[in-house]
């Protein structure tokens, strides 16, 4: 027996040893893959009748990861978040919209633009402001909820974030961020006046 024949017999033995513990379907898949990889075509129809064509098993789908929309209060869209937070004015709605885009939107980003008002306010079922959208963002910035990061681009600041996550829906007397910030200034002014007296 030649060396080549010896190698062939050894390969058969190893192949049987590897395939024997497998179930029939797995064996067929392995053999089909080997035939394809080595570009082997079995002659005649006999092989085809014994080896059914089995599609490669699809890889198992990874377990579904909980998303922000399912974890945080079941938010799936901006309308849901608006209904949950119940903003009372355009400034608060801008903060809710910016929060949604940063944490819940399918394509997330940490800034908003005037065009977002025209697009997302109607989606949320919130009335469009009568003034220019750019002015609405300036108003929200002046209200203390946003910071400007570029021309026409604004980002939710910590005050706006806290408004959405902790102070809405309204009913909490601290829900107006601007009112809360003015209170310490008035208190200081009162203290100085008393000191002068």
Mean pLDDT of the 139-147 span? 96
d(CA 37, CA 150): 55
Q: How confident is the model at residue 173 (pLDDT cuts 50, 70, 90)?
A: very low
- Residue 121 Cα distances to 3, 81, 154, angstroms: 79, 12, 16
The pLDDT score that the predictor gives to residue 155 is: 96
Tell me the torsion sign for CA atoms 44, 46, 50, 52: positive
Longest Cα–Cα distance of the chain, Å, equals 119
End-to-end CA distance of the chain: 119
DSSP at 147: E
* pLDDT interval class at 28 (50, 70, 90): confident
Could you give the C-alpha distances from 127 to 23, 76, 124, 155, in angstroms and in order?
64, 20, 9, 22
pLDDT of 59-93, one tens digit each? 555 544 443 333 345 677 899 999 999 999 999 99
What value does the mean pLDDT take over residues 184-194?
50
Q: What are the residue ranges spanned by the domains of the chain?
A: 3-50, 68-192
Residue 84 CA from chain centroid, whole number: 19
- How sure is the predictor about 98, in pLDDT bands with cuts at 50, 70 and 90? very high
Picking from 188, 91, 83, the residue whose alpha carbon sits closest to that of residue 146 is 91
87: exposed, middle or buried (Cβ count in 10 Å: 0-12, 13-18, 19+): buried
Closest CA to 136 of 90, 86, 85, 72: 90
Whether the pLDDT of residue 175 is over 50: the answer is: no
pTM, to two decimals: 0.52
């Amino acid at each position: 027996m030649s060396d080549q024949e010896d190698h062939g017999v050894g390969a058969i033995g190893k192949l049987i040893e590897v395939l024997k513990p497998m179930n029939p379907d797995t064996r067929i898949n392995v053999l089909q893959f080997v035939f394809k990889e080595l570009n082997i075509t079995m002659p005649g129809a006999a092989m085809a009748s014994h080896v059914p064509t089995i599609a490669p098993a699809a890889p198992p789908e990874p377990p579904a990861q909980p998303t922000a929309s399912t974890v945080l209060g079941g938010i799936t869209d901006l309308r849901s978040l608006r209904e949950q937070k119940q903003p009372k004015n355009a400034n608060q709605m801008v903060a809710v919209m910016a929060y949604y885009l940063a944490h819940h939107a399918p394509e997330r980003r940490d800034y908003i633009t005037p065009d977002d008002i025209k697009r997302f306010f109607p989606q949320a079922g919130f009335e469009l402001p009568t003034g220019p959208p750019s002015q609405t963002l300036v108003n929200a910035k002046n209200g203390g909820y946003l910071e400007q990061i570029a021309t026409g681009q604004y980002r939710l600041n910590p005050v706006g974030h806290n408004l959405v996550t902790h102070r809405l829906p309204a009913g909490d007397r601290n829900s107006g961020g601007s009112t809360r910030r003015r209170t310490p200034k008035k208190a200081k002014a009162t203290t100085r006046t008393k000191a002068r007296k």
